[in-house]
Each structure stands twice: as structure tokens, then as C-alpha cells.
Amino acid sequence: MKIAIYSRGIENDQNRDMDSFLAELYANKMEPVFFQGFFNQFYSSVNIKGKYSTFSSADDLDESVDFMISLGGDGTLLDTVSLVQDKGIPVLGINYGRLGFLANIGKEDMHSAIKALVERTYVIEKRTLIHLDADIPVFKNIPYSLNEFTLQKKDSSSMIKIHTYLNGEFLNTYWADGLIVATPTGSTGYSLSCNGPIVFPESGSFVITPIAPHNLNIRPIVIPDNNIISFEVEGRTDSFICTLDSRREVVPKEALLAVKKERFCINLIRLNENNFLQTLRNKLSWGYDKRN
């Protein structure tokens, strides 16, 4: 069994955790395939006792890879979207970061997580991706994201006007610092911090959330994910910022942009004892009020 391993990097005090992780893999006859940049960082300080290989891009991953394990926080797991692409490789997030809505398996649960992979006792959650179409080349061959798409003003420039349409019909003009279109997965991310609602992963919806709107009557809206959402942007500057998860590009304001549901999903691995409600309660401390 081959396990691709991706991380942005680990702290020096986490080398012992990495040793334990690798020992667990080899004990279960799993062959790690390390992301090259990550491997270069840790290989001299971690004891590797078995066969391994490395990869540098999505092109290096084929059908022989059974799983992808992300070591880090949610941002690290979001990076794996550009690596697994439409290959269907299931992704397991082990939380070496902080909050961890996506990478919600703690290091202390590593043994049970690997055991679940070996025994195939996990649950696959198919998470919707959002796809960007544009009349100019942006984001190269990865025009999609797991969490959200955003339009934002540049730095300290004045607010922008974002004319927004659903399937060609006018929805609203947002006078704001920007606009977020979040997937259900992304509803617990940037959109939530801008007062957007939390929606369940299987809800089949997108959330449109303005960033610091200038109109007090403007609120987030939840729409079915079979809509095509298109935009025209006006502003005092000649360009604005467009993002897909953590990737960003500066786009001229004349650009025509539209987002829709991607044709494929990403497969996230969930352990049987975990579910979305439990994650919400644990990460947001719901139910811990002393009056309960």
C-alpha cells in the first residue's frame, strides 16, 4: 500500500512525532511517498527505516497511490487539492496545526487513523469544489478550490462594486471590500469569519458572503450549487485580487469571471467515530456553556 505524504513543514520539536508516524506506517507495511520539498526538510533528522519514494507534482502521482495524508492544519490540506486534482485519491488530514476543521484527526489518534486505512473502516466524504471560468488565463491548470473563491480590493484602495448575477439574472451590486463564494466545506472558513452561515457538507449549496459591505441591509445568501455565478467589477483602481483558497492573482477589472460547481469532487477520509456535528461542537466549543 502506497501512502503519499504532504506537508508544508513541521517544527523541530515535532521530529519525534514524525518518527512515530513513520514507524506506524512501516509496521503496517505501508510505503510512504514523500512530497519532495517536505522530504528535503526533515530527512536528515528523522529515522527512515524502510522503502520510500518522493513526488514533486501532481504528475508524479498515479493509480498506485492509495491515499494522501496531509500533516498540518487546514491550509496544508487545502494544498492537497492541487496535487490530487481529479485522480480521486482519498485524503486524510492529521492535525499538526491549530483549529483543524478539515484536518480534524489529532496526532494522538494517529494509530487508530492508520489502522482504519489498513482495515478500510473509514468513511469517504465527497466534498464539492468550486470552479472558476474567466475570459483571461488565470490559475493555470488548477482553476478550482475546496473552500472558497473571493474577489477583493487591492491593499488599502477604495471599496469595489461587484455586480453579481445568477445564471445571467441580476442578483445584487455589492459595494464592499470584496465578496466570498464559499462551498459548504468553506462555510467554516473565511466566510464564517465574515458572518456567513455554516452549512452542512452535503447541503448542495454555495454561500455568497460580502466582505465589509457598505450597505447595512446586505447579508450573506445561500444558493443551490447548480447556479452559475458571474461578476463584473468596478473600482477606482485598474485591477483587483482574485483568490482560490490560498492562491491569489491580480486581475484587471475588465475581466469577466464566473464560478460554478466543479465536475469532480475531492474525497476526504473521516473516521467512523467522527462526524460534522462532532467537529462543530469540538472546534467551536458548542455545548460547553456551564448552564447546560
What residues have CB less than 8 Å from 82, skipping those under 6 apart? 58, 142, 247
Q: How far apart are CA 292 and CA 285, in angstroms?
A: 12
* Cβ proximity of 117 and 92 under 8 Å: yes
Strand boundaries in the chain, DSSP class E:
2-6, 31-35, 53-55, 65-72, 91-95, 105-106, 122-127, 130-134, 144-145, 148-152, 160-166, 169-176, 178-182, 205-211, 221-224, 229-234, 239-244, 247-252, 257-261, 266-271
Catalytic annotation present for 74:
yes
- Burial class of 252 by CB neighbour count within 10 A (0 to 12, 13 to 18, 19+): exposed
Which runs of consecutive H residues, i.e. helices, occur in the chain?
15-27, 36-42, 74-79, 81-84, 110-119, 190-193, 276-284
To which residue does cell 490530487 refer?
A: 84
Determine the Cα–Cα distance for residues 65 and 84; give it in Å rounded to an integer.
10
- Note whether 123 and 269 are within 8 A (CB): yes
**What torsion, rounded to 10 degrees, do the Cα atoms 256, 261, 264, 270 define?**
130
Strand-pair partners of 95: 72, 106
> What's the number of CA atoms in the CB half-sphere (13 Å) around residue 277?
3
Which of the residues 74, 79, 225, 245 is marked catalytic?
74
Catalytic residues: 74
